[in-house]
Structure 1
């Protein structure tokens, strides 16, 4: 990601091929959208052409309402190790990002892809609309990204709960942030990740069940990466938990984790006083489920946390309850 950002800054990014990749949650293909996209031989050439470039994930009409819903970058293509005639597009670590707003298939009755548009602007039927892999011109990629990941997302989030007339809500943007700069800028990605994780849990802490807001109505719950980005963790909602500030601190320091069942909250009993546990965690010691089951924490991310963080880091400085 650092190398890509550097090349963008100097203006020497070579031209590659962007794609739309269709995804259906209940299909036979073994997609893990932040890690791998499974596809048949028929699409091998366009996917290989897209190695190093960005793709947009798309949910077809019969699979659900999301339309265009995420972006990622393809790192390489491998043959499927178990199924002949199938291939795996490996997603570059740290590149996957959910849109803060799903982008509809049609805007003002017109498709966002020229490949799906008749000469009179109406949607095409059949043919290309059924293709699981479609080439996407740069301008159409940029338009979809602007709708799903607004240029001024950081300002929108910073002023989201301000009273009318406060802050910078009425000030114009000083400049346009290029699409690819947004996708590689850590501060921007953190804002998008936080918004989607907190929305997934309805702004409740996944371990206490509490929904806390400050005097201005701003949610106090935070978004924690289960596997840190620095350790090749992704910005997928499935690599996130909505947690209160104290529980976020405890989770990052290995004082609490989640068991193999994906629900039971584990506590490092010799490091956390019992009365603190009783005050901070729900009585059932069970993880709150997100609104959409597809956003549930991935078991592999939880396993990584148990094996690499839980019980191994411990406290640094005074605990928040001291």
Structure 2
């Protein structure tokens, strides 16, 4: 197995769905096949924007792309995709983070490997890039973001130098990383009420909801998330509300939710609040899954936060 950097351009001819599959030509087949079962880092080139390295994922399989000769799909292991908390530039202090892209003095090389869409990545380079994009102490950063954290004896120490791969598979860490990106994408406003509520210490009350749960093969992509208030998050998970196939109209199970509750909780017009960045919009396939598998299908015992 081998780790890779995979180049991604949003407007290219390749149909990447980064948390599901990476589309690539036959010329990279051998290299990608060698990475099956290992981790990759996504990279956006400078010419397509200043983003740099921006996410990590794990390849589970490689298959021919249906209906397209000479193209293949690197299938992403469900639950492995995780966007970086902060984008990582290609150069740090003028030196490439990929050692293969620098000369003996550490200066950037030109042409050659830097132009490849698929590049081998040594474990040490992988760990360094991940550490920059997903800090070891991300949980502490979030816990103390709006004031000092109150610790109890049962709390796990927040500062613990975990190996990179252990951190990437640790659910608690991933939940913090997912929540930070989703809430930021929506400007800390609830996507269904439009409200931006904060407690006395300035902490946003909005939560990050998975549209398709991780335990049902959902990902930690921002496009599988909605920023929702606590009550609307509860309703969404129980199938009392969803989003229509136009990907913006809010659906409500009106035989289970009182009309006055709808009037109080849902923003006027009944449309989703959209992120400023179109690349953070909920993916239509995730919304379809929620409509077909959750909306109106979860047993409801009548207990609710508005009663």
Shift of 1:62: 1.4
Q: Distance in 1 between matches of 2:61 and 2:43?
A: 20
- Does the 8 Å contact 1:70/1:96 carry over to 2? yes
Q: What residue in structure 1 maps to residue 229 of structure 2?
A: 244
Counterpart among 41, 62, 68 of residue 56 in structure 1: 41
Q: What residue in structure 2 maps to residue 123 of structure 1?
A: 108
Post-superposition CA distance 1:259-283 (Å, at most 9, x none): 0011000011111111100000101
Distance 1:173 1:250, change over 3 A: closer
Q: Distance in 1 between matches of 2:14 and 2:242?
A: 30
1:1-322 matches, within 5 Å, as 16-162=1-147, 175-316=160-301, 318-322=303-307
Q: Distance in 1 between matches of 2:55 and 2:172?
A: 18
Q: Distance in 1 between matches of 2:299 and 2:150?
A: 39
Shift of 1:315: 3.0
Tell me the TM-score normalised to structure 2 length: 0.96
- Does the 8 Å contact 1:255/1:314 carry over to 2? no
Q: Distance in 2 between matches of 1:173 and 1:276?
A: 39
- Does the 8 Å contact 2:224/2:282 carry over to 1? yes
Q: Distance in 1 between matches of 2:269 and 2:80?
A: 36
Q: Distance in 2 between matches of 1:211 and 1:303?
A: 27
Post-superposition CA distance 1:267-314 (Å, at most 9, x none): 111111111000001011000111210010011100010001101114
The count of residues paired between Structure 1 and Structure 2 equals 302
Shift of 1:82: 1.1
- Does the 8 Å contact 1:189/1:235 carry over to 2? yes
Unaligned 5+ runs, structure 2 = 152-156
Shift of 1:66: 1.2
Shift of 1:167: 5.4
Tell me the TM-score normalised to structure 1 length: 0.91
Shift of 1:173: 6.9
Shift of 1:127: 1.3
- Does the 8 Å contact 2:137/2:160 carry over to 1? no
- Does the 8 Å contact 1:253/1:309 carry over to 2? yes
- State the SS of the aligned residue for 1:278: helix
Superposed structure 1 runs of 4+ greater than 4 Å apart:
none
Q: Distance in 2 between matches of 1:248 and 1:101?
A: 26
Distance 1:60 1:173, change over 3 A: same
Q: Distance in 2 between matches of 1:235 and 1:317?
A: 30
Q: What residue in structure 2 maps to residue 5 of structure 1?
A: none
Moved more, 109-118 or 310-319: 310-319
Shift of 1:50: 0.3
Shift of 1:125: 1.2
Please, what is the CA RMSD of the aligned residues?
1.3
- Does the 8 Å contact 2:168/2:174 carry over to 1? yes
- Does the 8 Å contact 2:137/2:159 carry over to 1? no
- State the SS of the aligned residue for 1:94: coil
